């Protein structure tokens, strides 16, 4: 194998595929990057079995070949080289030589044949969505996946396509996050992607109008970004019927400025940290939302301007769940829909209909 390529392009390609490598693996080959030099293209692949990432860059290939190099050391070497042309070629005894200006590295490599195959996916059942939109949907839901593994299906995010609408849903025992967007497909899909791999997909997606094509098979999802393909294993099992969890009626509705409410809750939660499981109390009055909290440190009272439709209500929350939601929403004004101090609270944007968040209240001992 022998090829020539730009340092900057190679470095970027490494940083993309490296996201599939989760750290120390029992199989050293999975800490490696497969390099395939063919035609005028260099293909880099990394995989931790659950997640595989492949990316292609232009290269002047003098001699075709396939091999695997340790991702960490190879990535560090390329990153530290001067911004110039790099020549890479194999030598005897499983060595590759990396040459760039006056730098010359001999690095042990592994055998390309030992690298696990990545799933071959028939790119048939496709829909498309702008990368920035998908990125936003992932950000808006993946924070809410269950952290513990008692119900493995809840560590994933539901991808549901129904009636030309894509919905992403995540939930644990305390809150639910739902984001939806209209898409152009007649297919219906209902599948669950591991939250962990989705966080890596998030990092690779660009905040742009560029399209990502998405394909599903029985066990995998493929995100095709053009020169980069990301393949994730799907979670087995059926997701919770989330629609039955979301209440569609409410007794009161509060309109409030998101940033103001977030500030109040963040400050109130400072007093709720020690031995108090982040407990904050809401006293919802016609024009004001009063937030209080206390602990052995002292107590706090915060007020946010609010517009209430319905009866006043006292209700308590774990501040962390509200902060998580209010931080990832973008709109200026939000709406909270409530029924009683023991029923779920729904949070939406005031003016757009593309998200719904549900947070369970904390039941106070009387």
Dihedral sign of CA atoms 67, 71, 73, 77 in order = positive
CB of 259 to a second copy, least distance (A): 11
User: Taking CB under 8 A as the criterion, which residues in 106-145 touch a second copy?
Assistant: 106-108
Stretch that binds a second copy, among 39-47, 77-85, 196-204, 218-226 (CB under 8 A): 77-85
Q: Residue 120 gets which letter from DSSP?
A: P
Q: Is 102 in the site for a second copy (CB under 8 A)?
A: yes
Q: Residue 131 gets which letter from DSSP?
A: H
Triad 170, 314, 352: Cα angle to 5°: 45
What is the DSSP annotation of 331-346? -SEEEEEE--TTS-EE
For 51, the token pair is: 């997640």
Element (H, E) at 45: strand 41-47
SS3 at position 11: helix
Quote the distance between the C-alpha of residue 246 and its chain's center: 23
Stretch that binds a second copy, among 71-79, 135-143, 208-216, 220-228 (CB under 8 A): 71-79
Q: Which residue, 212 or 326, has its beta carbon nearer to a second copy?
A: 326
CB of 280 to a second copy, least distance (A): 13
Stretch that binds a second copy, among 27-35, 68-76, 230-238, 335-343 (CB under 8 A): 68-76
Number of Cβ atoms within 10 Å of the Cβ of 216:
21
CB of 65 to a second copy, least distance (A): 18
CB of 347 to a second copy, least distance (A): 21
User: Taking CB under 8 A as the criterion, which residues in 256-315 touch a second copy?
Assistant: 263-264, 266-267, 270-271, 296-304
Q: Which residue, 273 or 363, has its beta carbon nearer to a second copy?
A: 273
Please give the C-alpha separations between residue 48 and each of 6, 12, 138, 195, in angstroms, as whole numbers: 27, 19, 21, 15
Strand partners, 146: none
Q: Which residue, 95 or 182, has its beta carbon nearer to a second copy?
A: 95
Q: Is 104 in the site for a second copy (CB under 8 A)?
A: yes
CB of 279 to a second copy, least distance (A): 16
User: Taking CB under 8 A as the criterion, which residues in 8-27 touch a second copy?
Assistant: none
Q: How many residues bind a second copy (CB under 8 A)?
A: 30
**Terminal CA-CA length for the chain:** 74
Q: Does residue 18 contact residue 33 with C-beta atoms inside 8 Å?
A: yes
Q: Which of 49, 62, 73, 364 binds a second copy (CB under 8 A)?
A: 73
Strand pairing report for 65-70 and 60-63: unpaired
Stretch that binds a second copy, among 98-106, 110-118, 234-242, 337-345 (CB under 8 A): 98-106
- With a CB cutoff of 8 Å and minimum separation 6, the contacts of 84 are 7, 100, 101
Q: Which of 27, 49, 95, 182 binds a second copy (CB under 8 A)?
A: 95
Residues lying near a second copy in the complex (CB under 8 A) are found at 70, 73, 76-77, 80-82, 95, 102-108, 263-264, 266-267, 270-271, 296-304
């Amino acid at each position: 194998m022998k090829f020539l390529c730009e340092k900057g392009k190679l470095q970027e390609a490494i940083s993309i595929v490296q996201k599939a490598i989760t750290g120390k693996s029992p199989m050293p080959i999975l800490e490696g990057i497969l390099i395939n030099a063919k035609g005028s293209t260099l293909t880099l692949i990394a995989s931790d079995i659950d997640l595989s990432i492949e990316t292609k860059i232009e290269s002047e290939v003098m001699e075709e070949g396939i091999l695997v190099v340790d991702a960490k050391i190879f990535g560090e070497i390329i990153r530290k080289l001067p911004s110039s042309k790099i020549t890479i070629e194999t030598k005897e005894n499983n060595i590759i030589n990396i040459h760039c200006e006056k730098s010359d590295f001999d690095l042990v490599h592994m055998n390309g044949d030992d690298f696990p195959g990545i799933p071959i996916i028939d790119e048939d059942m496709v829909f498309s969505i702008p990368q920035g939109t998908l990125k936003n949907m992932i950000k808006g839901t993946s924070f809410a996946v269950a952290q513990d593994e008692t119900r493995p299906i809840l560590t994933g995010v539901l991808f549901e396509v129904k009636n030309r609408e894509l919905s992403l849903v995540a939930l644990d025992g305390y809150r639910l996050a739902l984001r939806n967007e209209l898409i152009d497909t007649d297919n219906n899909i209902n599948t669950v992607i591991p939250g962990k791999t989705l966080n890596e997909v998030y990092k690779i997606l660009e905040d742009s109008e560029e399209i990502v094509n998405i394909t599903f098979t029985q066990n995998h999802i493929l995100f095709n970004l053009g020169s980069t393909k990301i393949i994730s294993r799907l979670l087995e099992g059926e997701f919770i019927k989330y629609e039955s969890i979301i209440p569609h009626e409410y007794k009161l509705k509060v309109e409030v400025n998101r940033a103001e409410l977030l500030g109040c809750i963040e400050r109130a939660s400072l007093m709720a940290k020690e031995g108090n499981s982040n407990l904050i109390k809401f006293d919802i009055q016609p024009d004001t939302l009063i937030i209080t909290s206390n602990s052995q440190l002292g107590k706090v009272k915060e007020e946010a301007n609010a517009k209430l439709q319905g009866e006043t209500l006292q209700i308590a929350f774990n501040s962390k769940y509200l902060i998580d939601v209010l931080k990832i929403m973008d709109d200026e004004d939000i709406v909270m829909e409530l029924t009683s101090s023991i029923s779920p609270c729904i949070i939406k944007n005031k003016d757009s209909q593309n998200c719904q968040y549900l947070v369970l209240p904390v039941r106070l001992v009387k």
